[in-house]
């Protein structure tokens, strides 16, 4: 699986290089359901031409295709961003494609400050500490980073896909609802510690933001 270079952002186009028609149609169906435009090339030679003409965001490349094989198609490239073996789960493949697209589009990295403060919550990345009104809160690494990302930019709305990229990065394939699950766990941990949860608002259809009350983030 290769993220194509010099691609036009937001096209949502995927080139599938696969000579087995049933497999190609399976991929077209599942990726199409996700809103991607799917173009199929049955040979390596056609894949090279299609890639140059269409500039897809992702190339799904079967190694054993006629004419130029997968190794030759990528012979002068840097390699693959990810790979799956056959037989594969369509759900897993779609999730991996989504992750590769997300990483390719993420061009505004979030600054990760070492010391954060917003209202009564304080976060120290160096010490891996979270305190609410001076009381420590024990969090997992992912919960910690999710909270720190939101606290580091009060008022900014983070989409679920962006939070996945910042917090989970290349950790396999992760569904967007994972963010919702971790937010629920965060709320449960603050509740168990008997301290107020930071004011994290759900922005319907988009993601989350820490309500900006004019606190500082140093």
Ordered by start, the domain boundaries in the chain are: 2-105, 115-210
Query: Is 1's pLDDT higher than 50?
Result: yes
- What integer best gives the mean pLDDT of the chain? 80
Sorting pLDDT into bands at 50, 70 and 90, what band is 11? very low
Place of tokens 């900006």: 212
CATH number 1.10.10.10 is the correct assignment for the domain at 115-210? yes
Q: What pLDDT score was predicted for residue 82? A: 62
Q: CA 145, CA 151: separation in Å to the nearest integer?
A: 10
Instruction: Report CA torsion sign: 7, 12, 13, 16.
Output: positive
Q: What CATH homologous superfamily does 2-105 map to?
A: Response regulator (3.40.50.2300)
pLDDT digits (tens, 9 = 90+) for 33-49: 888 899 998 887 888 88
Cα–Cα distance measured from residue 210 to residue 199, given in angstroms and rounded to the nearest whole number:
6
Which pair of structure tokens corresponds to residue 176?
Answer: 């967007």
Per residue in 146-188, pLDDT (tens digit) is: 999 999 999 999 888 788 878 887 555 677 788 999 999 999 9
Given pLDDT bands bounded at 50, 70 and 90, which one contains residue 110?
A: low
Q: Using alpha carbons, select from 207, 13, 205 the residue that is nearest to residue 101.
A: 13
User: For a pLDDT cut of 70, what percent of the chain falls above it?
Assistant: 76
Q: Is 121 a residue whose pLDDT tops 60?
A: yes
């Amino acid at each position: 699986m290769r993220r194509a270079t010099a691609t036009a952002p937001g096209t949502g186009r995927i080139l599938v290089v696969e000579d087995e028609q049933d497999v190609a149609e399976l991929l077209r169906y599942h990726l199409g359901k996700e809103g991607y435009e799917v173009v199929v090339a049955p040979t390596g030679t056609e894949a090279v031409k299609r890639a140059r003409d269409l500039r897809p965001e992702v190339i799904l490349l079967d190694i054993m295709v006629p004419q130029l094989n997968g190794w030759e198609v990528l012979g002068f490239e840097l390699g693959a961003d990810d790979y799956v073996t056959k037989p594969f789960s369509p759900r897993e493949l779609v999730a991996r494609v989504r992750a590769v697209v997300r990483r390719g589009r993420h061009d505004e990295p979030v600054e990760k400050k070492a010391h954060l403060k917003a209202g009564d919550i304080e976060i120290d990345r160096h010490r891996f500490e979270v305190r609410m009104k001076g009381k420590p809160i024990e969090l997992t690494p992912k919960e910690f980073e999710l909270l720190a990302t939101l606290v580091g930019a009060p008022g900014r709305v983070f989409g679920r896909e962006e939070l996945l990229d910042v917090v989970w990065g290349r950790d396999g394939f992760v569904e967007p609802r994972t963010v919702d699950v971790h937010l629920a766990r965060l709320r449960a941990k603050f509740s168990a510690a008997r301290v107020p949860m930071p004011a994290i608002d759900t922005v319907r259809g988009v993601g989350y933001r820490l309500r900006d009350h004019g606190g500082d983030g140093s």
